[in-house]
Amino acid sequence: MVIKQINNRIKVVLLIIFVISMILIIKVFYIEVFSYQKLHKLANDLWSRNLPITADRGLIMDRNGKVLAGNITKTTLVLIPNQIKNKEEVTKNLARILDVSYDEMKKHVFKNTSIERVHPDGRRLDFTVADQINSLNYDGVYLLKESVRNYPYNNLLSHVLGFTGIDNQGLSGLELLYDDYLKGVDGSIKYYSDGKGARLTHPEVYNEPVNGMNLYLTIDIDIQASIERELDNVIAKYNPEHALIIVEDPNTGEILGMASRPNFNPNYYQNYKSEVINRNLPIWMTFEPGSTFKIITLAAAIEEGKVNLFEDHYYDTGSIRVANAKIKCWKPGGHGYESFLNVVENSCNPGFVVLGERLGKETLFRYINAFGFGSKTNIDLNGEEDGILFNLDKVGPVELATTAFGQGISVTPIQQINAVSAVINGGNLLKPYVIKMVVDPVSNNILYENKKTLIKDHIISENTSKLVKFALESVVANGTGRNAYLENYRVGGKTGTAQKVENGHYLYGNYILSFMGFMPADKPEVVVYVAIDNPKGVIQYGGTVSAPVAKNVLQDIASILKMDKDISGMPKVYNWYESKYVILPDVTGLSKDEALKKLKGFSISYVGSGSSIINQNPVGNSYVLEGSNVKLMLN
């Protein structure tokens, strides 16, 4: 009886113990299987010291893959104070090699921390310095790879590219705007250490850094180099307050080049004032555009049927009365009797006032808005301004008149070039952009690609666009833009001489001289906008200062983009003091006599002694300087 009761109780205890064993096993299973990830990570954080390895930032490249922002590898000094044995000696030697005071270095070496980055004295070390430290072979002193941003072309494209800070983080420009793509993910070397900080023999774990994504721009580095060079020349020659050049592809909205002065060297950004760094003038500066704005008025007037360039005429007396104001033409005495094509060629202000009056304020401002003025273009850069238009309710006859020739409204250069692009590409306003695509450097997958973005189509008709292009080619061949005439290529363009406003008053003798040029004039592939703010020591006309700069740029672009020569455009009308260019006939295949007849007026030299011409230099059917030397190769 007693035995039985005891045995029953023993069974109960056995059962309870069995249940408890199961609970213990299940709990251990839970810890080792379900909590494994969490505990493993926490324990690893406890056991390991992560020595950081910076990722390479993504490259920024031009449209052809030339690197504009790259990386160079330097070394960074990292200490694990617990592993350093002779701290005084280490402090003394590191201080000597890095050329800092003993006390400064002591702060790092004696710091009570698991891992110490010697900032800033131990950052971005050259290999020679790193080698000296390495040769000491101290425990707890680590030299790690550090990737440092490098801009191989220095000042080139500085405002667009921006720059990065000491920790390789994007601080301005594209570096800031696309930092998430560019920065990549830093890696590390994980060393295991014991509870006292000494290094364990467990193999270290290498977490490879993931390099940033590469950025391809729409910029062409050769075109950019050309405009940078021209701006440098402008600065040297005229010492203006500001100067800028933009090159855009009018058919896509791609920006091929963008530069301004003053600029900076992103490798040494600390040496510049923040205004210089932060103001990307082509998208930030606002000013009254002056006569280049007449392109908009002209396009609107033709589209609305308010003018026939060839039939309609106007007599310019040198001024025009609007309401109670007298608006003067830039030419004292006026241009006299002229067709409206002449009005455009001469950039005659009273003529454009008439066009403005014919359009009326509603219509003119409708076009101005349609071409994107008064609002941001939303180009993929930061720091863009809006520009300022008259409030339509407050536009009286005088405001309408001045707006028609580009005074009294305020625009940004990017708005101006983008609007003109729309005029000459057949009437479609596009979004300008500088990022072509973002590419993964490992897989070469395109993560993001910018395409042509239409903002507003058919603002003007194809035909109107053609007429405007014709008129603007004529401006360069016969009118105020003749300094931009490029032999063998067809160039269209418009000068601008805008008076600057300060505190509500026009400044005397202080102008922004601009030129808007495009090429080829019949089927434009590029538009170039040059604006120079208050050049010194020169007659302040856009035609004399900015047009030659645009011409140089266009000439470079013609060879960079390998544009075909075209002599079918309007011939230039020469002044008596200018050297003339004439078409050199093609004489290859002709006999010597026939060739001589055709080449009247040229000085000729021969190579060889045959009777028929097999080659000539320069090649035929191109403009050459009148009377220049022609080499003929005989068979």
Partner 1 sequence: MKEKQLIIFSFLSLSIIGLVMIYSSSYIWALYKYNNQYKFLFNQLIFFILGLFLLLIVYKMDLNIIKRYSNHLLILAIILLGLVLIPGVGIVRNGSRSWFGIASFGIQPSELAKLALIIYTAKYLSLNYSVMKNIKKGLIPILIVIFLFFGLIMLEPDFGSGFILVASIIGMLFIGNTRLSFFTYSALFGMLGISGLVLVAPYRMARIISFLNPWSDPLGTGFQIIQSLYAIGPGGLFGQGFMNSIQKHFYLPEPQTDFIFAIIAEEFGFVGILVIVSLFFIIFYAAMRIAFKEHDLFKKYLVFGLAFNIIFQAFLNLGVVIGLLPVTGVTLPFISYGGSSLIISILEIGLILNISCDLK
Q: Where are the alpha helices (DSSP H) in 211-339?
A: 221-238, 274-278, 281-284, 294-303
Which region, judged by CB under 8 A, interacts with partner 1, from 89-97, 187-195, 465-473, 552-560? 187-195
Q: Does 185 bind partner 1 (CB under 8 A)?
A: no
Q: In whole angstroms, how close is the CB of 34 to partner 1 at the nearest point?
A: 10
Q: 47 or 470: whose CB is closer to partner 1?
A: 47
User: To the nearest 5 percent, what fractions of the chain are helix, strand and coil?
Assistant: 35, 25, 35
Where in 454-493 is the site for partner 1 (CB under 8 A)?
A: none
Active site residue 291: yes
Q: In whole angstroms, how close is the CB of 261 to partner 1 at the nearest point?
A: 59
151: three-class secondary structure by DSSP: coil
Q: Does 507 bind partner 1 (CB under 8 A)?
A: no
Where in 28-47 is the site for partner 1 (CB under 8 A)?
A: 28-29, 31-33, 35-36, 38-40, 42-44, 46-47
Q: 21 or 113: whose CB is closer to partner 1?
A: 21
On the 0-12 / 13-18 / 19+ scale of CB atoms within 10 A, 66 is middle
Q: In whole angstroms, how close is the CB of 12 to partner 1 at the nearest point?
A: 8
**Per-residue tokens: 327:** 């608006």
Which region, judged by CB under 8 A, interacts with partner 1, from 2-10, 112-120, 278-286, 355-363? 2-10
Q: Does 236 bind partner 1 (CB under 8 A)?
A: no
Q: Does 328 bind partner 1 (CB under 8 A)?
A: no
Report phi then psi at 172, rounded to 5.
Answer: -160, 170
Q: Does 19 bind partner 1 (CB under 8 A)?
A: no
Q: Does 85 bind partner 1 (CB under 8 A)?
A: no
Q: 14 or 614: whose CB is closer to partner 1?
A: 14
Q: In whole angstroms, how close is the CB of 270 to partner 1 at the nearest point?
A: 43
Residues 6+ apart with CB under 8 A from 338: 313, 314, 315, 316, 346, 348, 351
Residues 6+ apart with CB under 8 A from 499: 288, 290, 407, 506, 507, 510, 511
Question: CB-side exposure of 601: number of CA atoms within 13 Å?
Answer: 11
Q: In whole angstroms, how close is the CB of 26 to partner 1 at the nearest point?
A: 10
Q: In whole angstroms, how close is the CB of 9 to partner 1 at the nearest point?
A: 4
Return the residue matching tokens 């667009």. 160
Q: Does 330 bind partner 1 (CB under 8 A)?
A: no
Q: Which residue among 48, 147, 193, 291 is the active-site one?
A: 291
In Å, what is the CA distance from 572 to each residue of 178, 202, 484, 502?
A: 46, 81, 10, 38
Q: In whole angstroms, how close is the CB of 49 to partner 1 at the nearest point?
A: 13
**Per-residue tokens: 547:** 């047009």
- Residue 189 neighbours by CB distance under 10 Å: 18
Q: Is the peptide bond before 535 cis (omega within 30 degrees of 0)?
A: no
Which region, judged by CB under 8 A, interacts with partner 1, from 193-201, 285-293, 349-357, 358-366? 193-201
Q: 15 or 325: whose CB is closer to partner 1?
A: 15
Where in 197-216 is the site for partner 1 (CB under 8 A)?
A: 200, 202
- Residue 240 neighbours by CB distance under 10 Å: 21
Q: 27 or 458: whose CB is closer to partner 1?
A: 27
Question: Which helix (H) or strand (E) segment is 42 a member of?
Answer: helix 36-47
Q: In whole angstroms, how close is the CB of 80 to partner 1 at the nearest point?
A: 15
Report how far Cα 126 is from the mean position of its chain's Cα atoms.
Answer: 32
| The only residue of 88, 167, 194, 208 in contact with partner 1, by rule CB under 8 A | 194
**Per-residue tokens: 614:** 């097999």
Q: In whole angstroms, how close is the CB of 171 to partner 1 at the nearest point?
A: 38
Q: 34 or 127: whose CB is closer to partner 1?
A: 34
Q: 3 or 442: whose CB is closer to partner 1?
A: 3
Q: Does 562 bind partner 1 (CB under 8 A)?
A: no
Residue type, 437: M
Q: Rounded to an integer, what distance in angstroms lies between the CA atom of residue 408 and that of residue 385?
A: 17
Q: Rounded to an integer, what distance in angstroms lies between the CA atom of residue 384 and that of residue 283?
A: 5
Which region, judged by CB under 8 A, interacts with partner 1, from 22-30, 54-62, 76-84, 215-223? 22-30
CA-wise closest residue to 160 among 410, 379, 404, 344: 379
Q: In whole angstroms, how close is the CB of 1 to partner 1 at the nearest point?
A: 10
How many residues sit in the footprint of partner 1 (CB under 8 A)?
Answer: 38
Q: Does 113 bind partner 1 (CB under 8 A)?
A: no
Q: What is the biggest distance separating any 2 CA atoms in the chain, rounded to whole angstroms?
A: 147
DSSP string, 376-414: ----SSS-----B---GGG--HHHHHHHHTT-S-BB-HH
Q: Does 112 bind partner 1 (CB under 8 A)?
A: no
CA-wise closest residue to 191 among 86, 80, 39: 80
Q: Does 536 bind partner 1 (CB under 8 A)?
A: no
Q: Does 64 bind partner 1 (CB under 8 A)?
A: no
Q: 13 or 323: whose CB is closer to partner 1?
A: 13
**Which residues contribute to the site for partner 1 (CB under 8 A)?**
2-3, 5-7, 9-10, 13-14, 17-18, 20-21, 23-25, 27-29, 31-33, 35-36, 38-40, 42-44, 46-47, 192, 194-196, 200, 202
Question: What are the catalytic residues?
Answer: 291
